[in-house]
Amino acid sequence: MTRQMTGAKMVVQALKDQGVEVVFGYPGGAMLPIYDEVFQQSDIQHILVRHEQGAVHAAEGYARSTGKPGVVLVTSGPGATNAVTGLTDALLDSIPIVVLTGQVPTFMIGTDAFQEADTVGITRPCTKHNWLVKDTAKLSATLHEAFHVAVTGRPGPVLVDIPKDVQFATAAYTPKQKARISRYQPQVKGDLESITELVAAIETAKRPLFYTGGGVINSGPAASQLLRELVEATGFPITSTLMGLGAYPASGKSWLGMLGMHGLYEANMAMHDCDLMINVGARFDDRITGRLDAFSPGSKKAHIDIDPSSINKVIKADIPIVGDIAHVLEDLLKVWKSRGRKINTEAVAKWNARVDEWRKVDCLSFKQEGPTIKPQYALSRLEALTKEHDRYITTEVGQHQMWAAQYLGFEDPNRWMTSGGLGTMGYGFPASIGVQMAHRDALVINVAGEASWMMNMQEMGTAIQFNLPVKQFILNNERLGMVRQWQELLHGERYSQSWSEALPDFVKLAEAFGAKGIRCSDPADLDDAIMEMIKYDGPVIFDCMVEKHENCFPMIPSGEPHNKMLMGDASTKDAIGSKGAVMV
């Protein structure tokens, strides 16, 4: 017998059927029936955020750290528009989230009703797909379909807009098992002929390189395992994008570190000089490629991606393989093993020796001297003192984010949550809340800059209310550091609007919320202060006063190829040509 229930009850029932344990949200007029149902159950925990943007980033943090979709409830109008940044962020980084928005009743749509916005219209370009449900009879099936679309293929954000009268009306509930099998079933198995072609290239390559991305993480733990097996078996060096950190362990012997604009010297040099580039789940982002006409000029490029539109978008792939990373790597390993596990041993050994020479440049070296903490030093100490912990790292966006990617080591996937594609300042703090909700006993640290952090600092209330011991490790240079760096390099040191005036006292701010505040400005005190932060059972704002004018290096200036990096000590005068100046 089918069960009759209201639309609002269907929402809660569908979430339960989908295995949802936590939702992030903020109530409002058009969501009241659903919130009434949320009130009358205890299977799903609702985390009340302080701003809808925070809800979406928290859901992203939850999703990235668990591999499960994050769920958000927000109201119509401003609730929905405040979610737009988070949706766009999730779209660019391929994070599965399901956002449910309230809407004015169907008979009022189009009348400029109170808190009415064309939510599906506004979010059409920033979701993988969205639905406006005008009939309660279709609501439950649509919700199941929404989860399917969010997690299948290349993951992404979806949105279901639910008018208030649809929430009140009654209809039959369609269980998950009985929901229409979706036509949306992207190809997961790679073409075997192309895979064999790649194996042949692997067998003969003299200077091979793995270039991996967030697709490996999104594909699931099996993909990371297979990647590790492949890298260990071949001995090829491996680098990764910002989004892919942790898929291969930072302690692995083939690890080169992150590549790209602020990537490591050895990673970028290897990208430039390789003869076989194996792109595994990355998308040739402009932060990675730098100048396109000088991008890895001598290499044959294989590209494995689940999204056909990623292939040949900016870089022509010689061996394109459309499929899920885990499936493709499994087949790749099978074929390679069946053909005798061949590699060009002598040439690869020579190549690895060359890579080792680049490693010796030690591009991340820095000198901590004088009375001021260098941000690199702060992160090195944070790494040393926390790496043995069950640790999850989120970041905001800017210099601190790049330093975190450079100086922190990730041994496992799903441990690193950062806004890569959209570069959303204000991402990290709410994301850390989402991560902590999924991993209550873990050490969750948001590496932040003071400017980014203040973009969503209202979420302190959420952290306190739900007793989430998130550590806000703020590298405070009283500057918009990355903006300042570009102004120094590109705009004649005219620092237009790039300093943080009138900053709060972060220690007092923490105390005002009922959290702990720690300030540290002396390098000699840093270790003790970090230990104090780790040991405190509750949210901490750590105000780490750092060198104000430190620049983030290495850096590939805009418009330059990979082998023209700026290093820390080198002169940066006129480093960026006029052609590079127009790029972001």
- Please list the active-site residues: 52, 114-115, 164, 482
Stretch of residues binding another protein (CB under 8 A), selected from 84-92, 163-171, 245-253, 482-490: 482-490
Residues of span 29-88 touching another protein by CB under 8 A: none
Choose which of 128, 374, 400, 471 interacts with another protein (CB under 8 A).
Answer: 128
Q: Is 261 in the site for another protein (CB under 8 A)?
A: no
DSSP string for 72-99: EEE-STHHHHHTHHHHHHHHHTT--EEE
The contact mask relative to another protein for 376-415 (x = CB under 8 A, - = no) is ----------------------------------------
Choose one: 117-125, 394-402, 474-482, 541-549; the region binding another protein (CB under 8 A). Answer: 117-125
Min CB(565)–another protein separation in Å: 17
Q: Give the integer Cα–Cα distance in Å for 9 and 166.
A: 11
Which range binds another protein by CB under 8 A, 64-72, 172-180, 483-491, 510-518? 483-491
Distance in angstroms (rounded) separating the CA atoms of residues 303 and 318: 8
Strand, helix or coil for residue 273: helix
Which alpha helices (DSSP H) does 439-490 contain, by range?
450-453, 460-465, 481-490
Smallest separation (angstroms) from another protein to the CB of 584:
8
- Out of 489, 515, 520, 540, the residue judged to bind another protein by CB under 8 A: 489
State yes or no: residue 492 binds another protein (CB under 8 A): yes
Residue 177 is encoded by which pair of tokens? Answer: 């098992």
Which of residues 2, 170, 185, 309 is near another protein by CB under 8 A? 309
Q: Should residue 110 be labelled a site residue for another protein when binding is judged by CB under 8 A?
A: no
CA dihedral 492, 496, 501, 507 (to 10 degrees): -70
Contact indicator for 515, 448 with CB cutoff of 8 Å: no
Q: Which stretch binds another protein (CB under 8 A): 162-170, 304-312, 502-510, 531-539?
A: 304-312
Which of 36, 275, 383, 488 touches another protein by CB under 8 A?
A: 488
Considering the complex, state which of residue 203 and residue 318 has its C-beta at the smaller distance from another protein: 318
Q: State the DSSP code for 242.
A: G
Straight-line distance from the first to the last Cα atom of the chain, in angstroms, rounded to the nearest whole number = 59
Binding mask 155-194 for another protein (x = CB under 8 A): ----------------------------xx----------
Q: How far is the CB of 577 from another protein (least distance, A)?
A: 8
CA distance 206 to 332: 19
| Beta carbon nearer to another protein, 189 or 491 | 491
Among 21, 197, 203, 307, binds another protein (CB under 8 A): 307
Closest CA to 236 of 288, 292, 265, 279: 279
**Stretch of 42-50, 124-132, 389-397, 561-569 contacting another protein, by CB under 8 A:** 124-132
Rounded-to-5 percentages of helix, strand, coil across the chain: 45, 15, 40
**CA gap 258, 268 in Å, rounded:** 9
Question: Residue 134 carries which side chain, given as an amino acid letter?
Answer: K
3-state secondary structure of 209: strand
| C-beta separation of 435 from 65 below 8 A | yes
| Residue 129 found at the interface with another protein (CB under 8 A) | yes
Residue 31 in tokens: 């969501």
Q: Exactly one of 19, 110, 121, 252 binds another protein (CB under 8 A); which one?
A: 121
Does residue 275 bind another protein (CB under 8 A)? no
Which of 143, 149, 332, 417 lies at the binding interface for another protein (CB under 8 A)?
A: 149
C-alpha separations of 259 from 308, 422, 488, 570 in Å: 23, 18, 23, 19
User: In which element (H, E) is residue 321 found?
Assistant: strand 319-322
Residue 555 DSSP label: B
Tokens 């750290």 correspond to 65
User: Out of 48, 172, 233, 292, which residue is the one contacting another protein (CB under 8 A)?
Assistant: 292
528-567 residues in contact with another protein (CB under 8 A) are 558-559
3-state per-residue secondary structure call for 114-166? CCCCCHHHHHHHHCCEEEECCCHHHHHHHHHHHHHHHHCCCCCEEEEEEEHHH
Nearer to another protein, 133 or 451 (CB): 133
Q: Least distance in Å: CB of 150 to another protein?
A: 11
> Are 437 and 463 contacting, i.e. CB atoms less than 8 angstroms apart?
no
| Residue 124 found at the interface with another protein (CB under 8 A) | yes
The residues facing 130 across adjacent strands are 159
Question: For another protein, which residue of 3, 189, 206, 316 counts as binding (CB under 8 A)?
Answer: 316
- Binding another protein (rule: CB under 8 A), the pick from 2, 312, 365, 467 is 312
The binder of another protein chosen from 286, 383, 412, 532 (CB under 8 A): 286
Q: Which stretch binds another protein (CB under 8 A): 36-44, 197-205, 335-343, 569-577?
A: 569-577
Residue 318 binds another protein (CB under 8 A):
no
Number of residues that bind another protein (CB under 8 A): 42
**Cβ closer to another protein: 153 or 426?**
153
Stretch that binds another protein, among 97-105, 254-262, 285-293, 464-472 (CB under 8 A): 285-293
Neighbours of 237 (CB within 10 A): 27
| Euclidean distance between CA atoms 513 and 343, whole angstroms | 59
| The two three-digit tokens of residue 453, written as one number | 């952090």
Q: Determine the residue type at 241.
A: T
Q: Would you say 259 or 311 has its CB closer to another protein? A: 311
Torsion from C-alpha of 356, 362, 363, 365, nearest 10 degrees: 170
- The piece of 91-99, 253-261, 308-316, 378-386 that touches another protein (CB under 8 A) is 308-316
Taking the C-alpha atoms of residue 159 and residue 70, their distance in angstroms, rounded to an integer, is: 12
Out of 40, 107, 114, 125, which residue is the one contacting another protein (CB under 8 A)? 125
Three-state DSSP class for 350? helix
- Note whether 573 binds another protein by CB under 8 A: yes
* Residues at the interface with another protein (CB under 8 A): 120-121, 124-125, 128-129, 132, 149, 183-184, 286, 291-293, 307-309, 311-316, 488-494, 558-559, 572-574, 576, 578-579, 581-584
